[in-house]
Each structure stands twice: as structure tokens, then as C-alpha cells.
Amino acid sequence: MSLLKRKLSSAKPAAESRGRPQRAQAKMLAKALVSNTAPSTQQSLLWTDKYEPGSSASLAMHKKKIEEIRLWLRNADASLQLGLPPTPRMLVLSGPPGSGKSTMLRVLARELGFELCEWVEPRAQGRPSLVERERGEAEEYESRVAQFEAFVRSSLRTLSLCLGNGPEVASTVRRRLVLLDELAVSSVSDGDSPMQRQQDILRRALPTARFPVVVILTAGSEAADSVHRQLERLAGPDAEAQRLVAHVNPVADTLLLKALRHVCAQEHLDLPAGALDAIVHSASGDLRSALHSLQFTAVGRARPAATMRQDRGGVRARAAAAECSVGRDRFPDLFRTIGKILNQPAKRARQRAEAAKPEAHAKEQREPQREHAEAPRDDSDDFAPEVVIQSSALDEGMVLAFLHHNYPSFFESVDDVADAAAALSDAATLMRAHSLSPWQPQLLPYVGSIGGRAVVSCNQLPAPPRFSQISKPRVFTVERLVLERRQQAVAAFLAPSGGTLPVRQSDIALQGSSQLMVEVLPMLQLLVARDPTGEQALTNTQRRVLTELAFSNSPCRSLPLCTPQAAAPPPAAAAVSRPICEAIPADADEIEESD
């Protein structure tokens, strides 16, 4: 039942194209079936829906990007129809919200004659109440994950099931694009959460998919790393060959302005130029938000007849801009926030030096020692790191990690570093206490506050200003690496069906992994490094684990593997981010070779 509903909504071919109000009405009915929140009259349509572009020419996006995606779509479809594997069958489209990712895909699918199957997150549907069940009118409860699994299976494999009841999905259509929009990606990977299972389902289904899949991930431009992490969780690290990553940039201001002008013209709305500029500025590349702002601004404004005198701009325009700029808060990004905090001591020192300069001569003669002793404790400028952190809307743990990773290069004296490090360690302890009982959020402000103040107040002798780059903390990578390697090692050495093992399984199987890592494996490394082909018969997986665990100064950094074929390392992680335009010709070559 619910499956059918989804199909209904997926048949909604995205846009209510202008000039065909009846169709739009019908579609809205379909929409209303799915979610009751849909507006019921055309008047109250959101402009973002009303003015969805109908062709790729009117998309507010760079032409090149559109062409890339179009090319991939064609290639992927061709290769899948012919049964050739090489072209990645999954496209991951990432970009900030409101940059037109989904819209572009819908438009392209329509233009290329693809049938679009879109996963719509099911309505928050509780288990049917007892009363409903008694009356027998509750539809069968199906868990979200089960629904997802059914959707993935039916949409990726079989064609006949997914029927378009609209006229535009012709019966001859044999092409389909499966769109997974806004998949929730879980942050924990314990194999437990429903999201995790959702990812597993997708990962399993992908190799046998018969249609191209597009996954849309929404992420800000500064969080490119998080996109990668999400990706890894989503499709597994081994699926790199099967997917392609494209990033959509925020809509350029000029394009934004153009789009808004177009809408204004359609709506016969005449806003002063300043107002439009203000909206564009505050939207910061988010077309959806810009349109919302525009609509909001236009509400209740008299729609003048087509003519209005333009020359009344001037002061009034600016006033209008101030009045109507439905501002979104612009958050300063992470690096700037961290930099601001870390640079504060140097800035303060500079200010102090400047302030002291005129009086220096006079004071120097009178009481130079006291001046020197007093100066460092002077925190009189009211710089509050809390304010900076709060205004950036960042997670305190993240701020802490960044601060910790970057602070030493701003310090000159070890004593100060020691103080700051002690305070950061306090903050980390608090953070842990918070994560143990996350329902008590009152600890969090302290974390940011202590961390921020530590690097500012303790830094009495700031390093001379030089170019020091704020870099990403390694803590998280290291943590991930530890988990991965430990799992690998345990799997390689303690696998239940591991064949001939040099180490008696029962012994270390239960020693716990730390003993394996600390006592047994380092020695095994030494043994194997000295005597590569000796009696310690290791499998290749085991050798690889040993090599990976070797320190940079250790002799068994390059452990020879038994058979060179099997030794080929897994495809490098760089493949994830290879640009889309390079990937396709390379794969095309492969097709020719395989022929």
C-alpha cells in the first residue's frame, strides 16, 4: 500500500510547468494524498515550486556542470543497458542546500526521457493504535527500513513494477533514474541503527543495479570532508569504482539575481533594485532561500499594474532594502572562527604595544620593572571567545578539536602551552562527561568557554605573527584508523577459518586485541622482516596488516608479499574524488579494451 503511494508521488514529474494549471492541480491532488500539508490552491503555492525551471537552459547553474551530469547519465545508461560495467552507476551529488541539485536532476531526467523514481521519506507513521487495528482500518505497519529495502529492490531491478500512470511516462520508456534524495546518513557505525541498515541495503543492491542511481548529499562547501565521510559510510570504502562524485557550488550571485528578476517579471512584481540585491546577498548562494525571501517580501505588497515609475529609487530603495532583506544569519565559517580566537593574543599584544608606544619613554625611566610585571595580566579588552563560538553555530567538540590541533603554533613559551594544554584537557574531560549523559546539555557551554579562554588567556607571550595555517584536526582520522586497523588485524589473525596460522588461534583469540597489537604483532613483524620466507607462513592479508602497522622507522615497512598478483593494493582513496570529466574517458577506454 505504502509502496503504491510512493510510486504515485514518484510519478510526479517534478515541476508544475507554467501555463498548464489543470495538470498542476491534478498533480497537487496526488501530492496532497501523500502529505496533507501541500497547499490546496494555486494562489498559495510556494514560488520555489511554482517557478521550478522547465528546461536545462533555465537552470541557474553553470552550463558545464549540467553537461557533465548529462554525459554521465547517458554513459551510465548506455553501459547499463548493454550490460557493461565500467561506467560508475552511482553518482553522488553534493552541494550546499538550495543550489539546485535535485532540480537539475529532475529537469535532466525529463529532457533525456528517463523515468524518475524518487525515494520519498515516508511520513512519520507510528505503529497503528489499538483502536485502529481493531477497526481494521489501519494499514499494515511497515518499518522505514523495510520500505526502503522494498523500494531499492523494486526500483533498481525490475522495470515493470514501477509504473508511471501519467501520460508523459510512455510505455516504451526503458530508462530510469533512481534518485535518493536526502538520505539520512548516520554518524555512528555500529551496525545497529536503522540508517546503518539502510546503507547496507544500498551497498548490497548497487552491484546488481540495472539503472543509474543518484544520491544527493547536502553539505556546505566547507564540509567537504564530512561529505567524504558520509560517502564512505553510505557506500562502503570498496565501492569507489562504482561511483562518481560531483560537487555543486552555491549559485552564483549573478545567476541568482537573474532568476529572481525572472520571477519578479512573472509575478508582475516591482521591487526596487536594492531590495533584490539585499536578498541575493543574504541568501549567499541559496536559491531556495532567496525565492522564499522574495515571496515573503512580496506578500501583502500591492501588485502595481505593469508600469511603475522607476526613477523614484534613491533613498526609498535603500530603505526598502533594509526593510525587506529577510536576512538569514550568515555564519562565519569554521576556520575563520578558530583563527579569530587563536589570533586574539597576538592582536591584543599588538594593540598594547601601540598603546604603550607614546608613553613608553616616560614610563621607562620611572618604573620599568613594575610595568613589565603588570602587563601580562591585563585582559582588559573584553574579548569573549564564547561569543565568537556561539555566533559561529559550531559544535563545541569540533571547536575544541580544532583549537587543540592548532594552538601550539601560536605560542612562544612552553609554560603558556602547558597551561593551555591543561585547560584543554579539562575541556576534553568535560566533553566526555557530556557525551556520557547527553541529556544534560549544561556542560557544553563550559567546554567551548574553557577551550576558547585557555588559548587566549594563557597565551601571554604570543608568537610573532607569521603565516600559520589553520588545519584540520587529525584526532578523528586517527581514531577511525585505530578502529579499522584493529578490526583488520583481529580479522586477519583470528579469523575462525583462517587456515594455517602461525599463532595458535585459541591463545590470542581471547587475549584481547590490545595484547595482540602490543606484544604479539610487533615481534611477529621482527620475525618476518628478518626471515621473509621462513617458517612463519603468513597469508597475504596478515602480511598486509603487518606492513600497515609498521612504524616509519621500522625495517619491515615494505614486507614482501607472497604472490605479486594478490599483492595489488586496494584502489587508492584518491579515486573517490577524481573529477567527473576525467573519469568517463578513462572508463570508456576500458570498455574498448574489454571488447
Report the candidate in 48, 245, 81 with the shortest Cα–Cα distance to residue 176: 81
Is residue 435 within the footprint of other proteins (CB under 8 A)?
Answer: yes
Q: How many residues bind other proteins (CB under 8 A)?
A: 71
SS3 110: helix
Q: Count the Cβ atoms, other than its own, within 10 Å of residue 341.
A: 27
CA distances from 2 to 33, 143, 151, 417, 446 (A): 11, 11, 10, 60, 47
> Nearest-5° angle of CA 577, CA 581, CA 585?
110
Residues 173-202 that bind other proteins (CB under 8 A): 191-192
Q: Give yes or no for residue 573 binding other proteins (CB under 8 A).
A: no
Return the amino acid letter for 148. Answer: F
Distance CA 493, CA 509 (A): 8
Mapped onto helix, strand or coil, the DSSP state of residue 516 is helix
Selected range binding other proteins among 253-261, 343-351, 364-372, 416-424, rule: CB under 8 A: 416-424
Q: Which of 71, 173, 265, 523 binds other proteins (CB under 8 A)?
A: 523
Q: Given the rule CB under 8 A, which of 110-118, 133-141, 148-156, 431-439 is the region that contacts other proteins?
A: 431-439
On whether the CB atoms of residues 536 and 528 are closer than 8 A, the answer is: yes
Contact between 431 and other proteins (CB under 8 A)?
yes
* 494 counts as binding other proteins under rule CB under 8 A: yes
Q: What is the DSSP letter of 312?
A: G
CA distance 310 to 331: 35
By CB under 8 A, residue 515 contacts other proteins: yes
Region of 206-214, 331-339, 376-384, 404-412 interacting with other proteins (CB under 8 A): 404-412
Does residue 134 belong to the site contacting other proteins (CB under 8 A)? no
Q: At its nearest, how many Å lie between other proteins and the CB of residue 553? A: 7
The candidate with the shortest Cα–Cα distance to 265, out of 300, 322, 297, 303, is: 303
Among 46, 112, 205, 417, binds other proteins (CB under 8 A): 417
State the nearest-atom distance from the C-beta of 28 to other proteins, in Å: 39
Judged by beta carbon, residue 183 or residue 401, the one nearer other proteins is 401
DSSP 9: H
Decide: helix, strand or coil at residue 94. Answer: strand
Q: Give yes or no for residue 444 binding other proteins (CB under 8 A).
A: no
Sign of the torsion angle spanned by Cα atoms 495, 497, 498, 503: positive
Q: Considering only residues 29-58, where is the footprint of other proteins by CB under 8 A?
A: none
- Find the shortest distance in angstroms from Cβ 424 to other proteins: 6
**Minimum Å distance from CB 168 to other proteins?**
41
One of 534, 560, 570, 571 touching other proteins (CB under 8 A): 534
Residue selected from 61, 248, 256, 421 as contacting other proteins according to rule CB under 8 A: 421
**CB-wise, 16 or 396, nearer to other proteins?**
396
